[in-house]
C-alpha cells in the first residue's frame, strides 16, 4: 500500500512543485514506485520535465481534471511513464470543466484505483484552498506544508492551518486536524539572521498545530531555476549541490516513513499510516 503525501501552501512560488519533483525523483532513486499527481491547473509538474511541456497546451491529454470530471475514465490511462517518475498531469483546458464540482472525495476514489501499483504517491497542489486542494488533503496520509522565509508565505501557512481547522464542513476540519503535518523550509539562506530567528520561533510550531518542522532545509540556489528550464530535477541534474543532498535526505525520511510509519522532524516524530 502506498504512502500518500500532499504538498501544500496557500501561497505560490514557495517551491511546492520543485519539492514534489525532487522528492519524487529522490524516492525513485531509492527504488520506490512513485506516482505524482498534479492537481494544480498550471500543470507545472510537466512544465518542469523535459519534453513534456506541451501537455499544458494540449486540450485532449488525459489529466487529473478530466478524471475529476468523468469518473468512468480509468485513471490508469492518465498515467504518464516519465523518465524520472510516473505522473498524472493537469492543465487549464480540463480544469475549466471542473468548475462547480464540490465532492472532496473524488481524488481518493481515483487514487484507490491505482495505489496498489505504488509505494509513494505525491500530490502537488495549487496555491489556493479550492476543490482540488481539499481533495488532496482529504486523500493524503500526510501533509507537507512547504514554505519559504517570506512573511507572506509563513502567513499563508498559518492562515491555511487556522482556516482548515475551522472549515465549514466539520468532517474536513476534523480530518485536517488529525492528519500528520510537517513543515519544510525552502529558499533557506543560513547566514541570514532573519532566517535563523524564524527557524527558532517555528521550531515549537507543533504546539500551535502547524505540524513538525522537518530537519531538511532546502537552500536557495540559482541552479534550481536553471534545472527547471532544462527540465531535469536538481537531484538528478546537480546531485552534489546542497539542494540535492537535502532533497535526497527528505526522500530518505519519506522512505523511512513508509517502512516504519514515522516521519522524523528536527525535534519531534510524527506517526503516519504504515505504507507497507
Ligand X SMILES: Nc1ncnc2c1ncn2[C@@H]1O[C@H](COP(=O)(O)OP(=O)(O)O)[C@@H](O)[C@H]1O
Query: What part of residues 5-44 is at the interface with Mg ion (CB under 5 A)?
Result: 16-17, 44
d(CA 56, CA 25): 21
Closest CA to 27 of 46, 50, 3: 3
Query: What part of residues 187-206 is at the interface with Mg ion (CB under 5 A)?
Result: none
**Site membership for ligand X, residue 152 (CB under 6 A):** no
- From the CB of 124, what's the least distance to Mg ion, in Å? 6
What does 13 bind: Mg ion, ligand X, none (CB cut-off 5 to 8 Å by kind)?
ligand X
How many residues interact with ligand X (rule CB under 6 A)?
A: 17
Residues belonging to the chain: 276
- From the CB of 225, what's the least distance to ligand X, in Å? 4
Query: What part of residues 40-59 is at the interface with ligand X (CB under 6 A)?
Result: 44
d(CA 182, CA 113): 27
**Site membership for Mg ion, residue 90 (CB under 5 A):** no
**Site membership for ligand X, residue 144 (CB under 6 A):** no
Q: Which CB, 44 or 65, lies closer to ligand X?
A: 44
Distances (CA, A) of 157 to 69, 102, 154, 272: 29, 23, 5, 21
Q: Which residue has the cell 543560513?
A: 190
Helix pair 170-178, 131-139: axis angle to 10 deg? 50
Q: Which residues contact ligand X by CB under 6 A?
A: 12-18, 44, 186-187, 218, 220-221, 224-225, 228, 243
Amino acid at each position: 500500500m502506498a504512502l500518500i503525501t500532499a504538498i501544500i501552501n496557500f501561497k505560490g512560488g514557495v517551491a511546492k512543485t520543485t519539492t514534489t519533483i525532487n522528492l519524487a525523483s529522490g524516492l525513485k532513486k531509492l527504488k520506490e514506485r512513485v506516482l505524482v499527481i498534479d492537481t494544480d491547473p498550471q500543470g507545472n509538474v510537466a512544465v518542469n520535465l523535459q519534453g513534456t511541456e506541451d501537455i499544458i497546451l494540449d486540450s485532449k491529454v488525459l489529466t487529473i481534471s478530466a478524471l475529476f470530471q468523468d469518473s468512468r475514465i480509468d485513471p490508469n490511462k492518465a498515467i504518464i511513464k516519465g523518465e524520472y517518475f510516473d505522473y498524472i498531469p493537469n492543465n487549464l483546458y480540463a480544469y475549466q470543466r471542473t468548475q462547480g464540482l464540490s465532492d472532496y472525495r473524488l481524488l481518493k476514489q481515483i487514487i484507490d484505483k491505482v495505489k496498489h501499483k505504488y509505494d509513494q504517491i505525491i500530490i502537488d497542489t495549487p496555491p489556493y484552498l479550492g476543490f482540488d486542494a481539499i481533495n488532496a488533503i482529504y486523500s493524503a496520509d500526510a501533509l507537507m506544508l512547504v514554505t519559504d522565509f517570506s512573511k507572506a508565505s509563513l502567513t499563508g501557512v498559518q492562515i491555511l492551518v487556522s482556516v482548515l481547522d475551522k472549515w465549514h464542513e466539520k468532517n474536513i476540519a476534523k480530518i485536517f486536524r488529525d492528519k500528520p503535518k510537517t513543515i519544510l523550509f525552502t529558499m533557506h539562506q543560513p547566514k541570514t539572521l532573519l532566517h535563523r530567528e524564524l527557524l527558532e520561533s517555528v521550531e515549537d510550531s507543533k504546539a500551535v498545530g502547524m505540524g513538525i518542522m522537518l530537519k531538511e532545509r532546502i537552500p536557495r540556489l540559482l541552479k534550481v531555476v536553471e534545472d527547471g528550464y532544462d527540465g531535469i530535477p536538481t537531484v538528478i541534474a546537480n546531485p552534489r549541490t546542497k539542494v540535492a543532498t537535502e532533497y535526497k535526505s527528505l526522500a530518505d525520511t519519506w522512505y523511512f516513513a513508509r517502512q516504519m510509519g514515522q516521519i522524523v522532524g528536527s525535534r519531534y516524530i510524527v506517526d503516519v499510516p504504515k505504507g507497507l
